[in-house]
Amino acid sequence: MVPSPTSRLRFRQMAPEDLDAMAGLLGDEQVMTYYPAPKTREQAAAWIAWNQDNYARFGHGLWIVETHNGTFVGDCGLTWQKVNGALMLEVGYHVLPRLWDQELASEAAAACRDFARDQLGAKQLVAILHPKNTASRRVAEKTGMRHVADDHGGQIAVRTVLGIDL
């Protein structure tokens, strides 16, 4: 299962054939500004494998996001993450920098929010952000999320958690 297509986007599961696109996305310094470092090609391959495992275990993960004509946009989807020790369903997203001004991340995140509510029966959804990542915060807020907590104990000292009750 994948989220329903939007007016501009469609979703599909990641596959090993997506390595070039995902390595380019996750290896981009702009995309990974708020991560410890851009990912290597090997780490991008592990990212794909992690998502394939999530599909098998949970029926969801981060999906490839592309336009209806097949142009790669990035990834967006749902994964289980720890927030202050508790597992919570998170929407995550990465979009190619040349597409940042088109609100594609917001469109994809809203489709994933609706999928979480309608297909998974989720009661809550969160986005976990670096406190300085204002662009990602705007995406979360456009999906209806508001600040719900600060998370302590991840790779950075404090992460901002926005959430919405579904």
pLDDT in tens, 52-84: 999 999 999 999 999 999 999 999 999 999 999
Q: How far is CA 133 from CA 31, 109, 136, 143, 160, in A?
A: 11, 16, 6, 16, 9
Render 73-107 in DSSP notation, one character per residue. EEEEEEEEEEETTEEEEEEEEEE-GGGGGGTHHHH
pLDDT for the residue 55: 98
* Edge-to-edge order in the sheet of strand 62-67: 9-12, 62-67, 72-83, 86-95, 124-129, 158-165, 146-152
153 has pLDDT over 90:
no
Mean pLDDT across the chain, nearest whole number? 96
Report the range of poorest mean pLDDT among 39-53, 103-117, 152-166: 152-166
